[in-house]
Structure 1
Amino acid sequence: MNEFFVESLDEFVPISATNVVYQDITAKVKGTEISIEKIPVRIYAATNEEVFDRDLAQVRDERLFAAYARRNNLLTTPEIKAIRHHLGLSQRGFANFLGLAKSTIEQYEAGSLPTRANSNLIERVADYDVTTLKKMFVDSDVKKYSNNDMDVLQKLTAEKLERARFQKALDVAAWFMAQDYMQRQVDVTVSTLTQMKLQKLLYFAQGIFMKQYQRLLFSEDTLAYTHGPVYDSVAQQFHGQRELDILQTLDQAALTQILAQQQNISEDIEVGGVLSYVWAHYGHFEAASLRALTHSDESAWTRTYQAGEYKLQIPNEEIVMEFAEVKR
């Protein structure tokens, strides 16, 4: 600003006709008198008349609000910004995590004073108490987080999932293929298992197992493809194959071995229980219906998938969130 308005003259004067001096002032903030020292004020040099300077007025208001905040043990704008930046969250993510409106955080960071309750709420997260952060995260609306905010909060709050004894999804795929084979031996009307359906069954198994036991069923990453979650080991093994009827073509020795493996897995109380649950609840659906389930608004795939991105990993914590309401 190169000119300032002088009321007594009813005209603007150049900056060269003004000076900045420092004064002690007392003003009311929310009904409370606050005194602060050495506040910069611009004056018209010829008459020592104060003139309005927007930048200096902002400095004055910030000092007044900061003094009021200190007196009342409230967080100041710089402190609120510092807490959010230290967490690494956007304004929207920070607000959602706290259960506040995004506009509320914007106002606080623009200079508005927080209420006592909101100041205490924000201060709770400053100490990085894992138990407190975890509860706040669980209570918040996970659908409102950006991918970056979600990743930050998962790193802050989530316990690392243990690795299971299965390395790849393909190690579990044989169970579903054997189950499909045995079912079709007694019911010829049952549709042959397709690769898409197998991928979805494996995804449901992974999600339900993680939610139930807080560890992975298999270590392989879940990838977000156009038609839903995909496991690369399965996609590579059955590349170009739509229907997976390979057990019909095996010799008796190979078939017996696969069925024996399936029986061993079934006898595992944890793994066998989850796989049997998935087959009973999802095995009768066609692939298109299972695809629709993975494409729902609440799904981890929906929150992760980006058109044009290849082999984008769906975070395990996102999958756990999706299956949080599944009861066994």
Structure 2
Amino acid sequence: MTTSAKVIANAFIERSHAESKPLSNMQLQKLVYIANGFCLALLDKPLYYEETYAWTYGPLIKPLYSSLMSYGSNNITSTIPISPYEDRIDLNEEKIINYVWSKYSDMSAYKLSDLTHQAGTPWDITWRNNDYGMIDNNVIADYYKTLINVITQQSN
């Protein structure tokens, strides 16, 4: 099931509040994007239905950014209002969100931005060809499949 990026963002916001970890708009954008990458690679489907764009500070989901822009660079203090008709997160998506939270939630916004800006990342590929352009889900899926192979090889 694919839902709104706001639903995915709320899952991360709830974790940040439960663990008293501050979370900024930029951090949240990157966590939602990374979770989408793992979902594309592992489940062969996007985690959210909105498009992702290559912006100056990394991947950005415009409706999510608009919902949080009032925070500026301050920490997010509450969940995002969503439609009661939005699909919910299923068990496999929940596992991916938990994994991403466990591996990436301690990284600063700028560290996450640096991570998404590395050479060969979907952001980098898109930015070089079309700055502020849409990042293709196939490019994201291919990158995260490769990343998963590297992670798997390192753990063996």
Query: Could you tell me the TM-score, scaled by structure 1's length?
Result: 0.41
- 1:279 aligns with 101
The CA deviation string for residues 66-109 of structure 1, in whole angstroms up to 9 with x for no partner, is xxxxxxxxxxxxxxxxxxxxxxxxxxxxxxxxxxxxxxxxxxxx
Q: How does 1:1-328 map to 2 (within 5 A)?
A: 164-166=1-3, 168-184=4-20, 190=21, 192-241=22-71, 242-247=73-78, 265=89, 268-306=90-128, 309-310=131-132, 312-324=133-145, 325-326=147-148, 327=151
| CA gap 1:198/1:212 in 2 versus in 1, 3 angstroms | same
Instruction: Specify the structure having the higher radius of gyration (Cα).
Output: 1
> Match of 2:28, as an amino acid?
L
Which of 1 and 2 has higher RCO (CA within 8 Å, sep 6+)?
A: 2
The CA deviation string for residues 258-292 of structure 1, in whole angstroms up to 9 with x for no partner, is xxxxxx74xx3201100000000001111111111
Structure with the higher strand share, 1 or 2: 1
Point out where structure 2 has 5 or more consecutive residues left out of the alignment.
82-87
- 1:109 aligns with none
Query: Could you tell me the TM-score, scaled by structure 2's length?
Result: 0.82
> Match of 1:315, as an amino acid?
D
> Match of 1:175, as an amino acid?
A
> Match of 2:141, as an amino acid?
V
User: Which whole-Å CA distance do the structure 2 matches of 1:205 and 1:302 have between them?
Assistant: 18
Q: Indicate if the aligned counterparts of 2:25 and 2:76 stay in contact, CA closer than 8 A.
A: no
Q: CA deviation at 1:216?
A: 1.0
Residue 19 of structure 2 aligns to a residue whose secondary structure is helix
Residue 318 of structure 1 aligns to a residue whose secondary structure is helix
User: Which whole-Å CA distance do the structure 1 matches of 2:39 and 2:50 have between them?
Assistant: 14
Q: CA deviation at 1:309?
A: 4.1
The CA deviation string for residues 142-173 of structure 1, in whole angstroms up to 9 with x for no partner, is xxxxxxxxxxxxxxxxxxxxxx330x211211
User: Which whole-Å CA distance do the structure 2 matches of 1:236 and 1:210 have between them?
Assistant: 24
| CA gap 1:308/1:217 in 2 versus in 1, 3 angstroms | closer
User: Which whole-Å CA distance do the structure 2 matches of 1:194 and 1:200 have between them?
Assistant: 10
> Match of 2:59, as an amino acid?
P
Residue 224 of structure 1 aligns to a residue whose secondary structure is strand
Q: Percent identity?
A: 26
User: Which whole-Å CA distance do the structure 2 matches of 1:165 and 1:210 have between them?
Assistant: 11
User: Which whole-Å CA distance do the structure 1 matches of 2:7 and 2:112 have between them?
Assistant: 21
Q: CA deviation at 1:204?
A: 0.5
| CA gap 1:203/1:179 in 2 versus in 1, 3 angstroms | same
Structure with the higher helix share, 1 or 2: 2
Cα RMSD, aligned residues only: 2.6
Q: Indicate if the aligned counterparts of 2:117 and 2:124 stay in contact, CA closer than 8 A.
A: yes
Point out where structure 1 has 5 or more consecutive residues left out of the alignment.
1-163, 185-189, 249-253, 255-263
> Match of 1:234, as an amino acid?
L
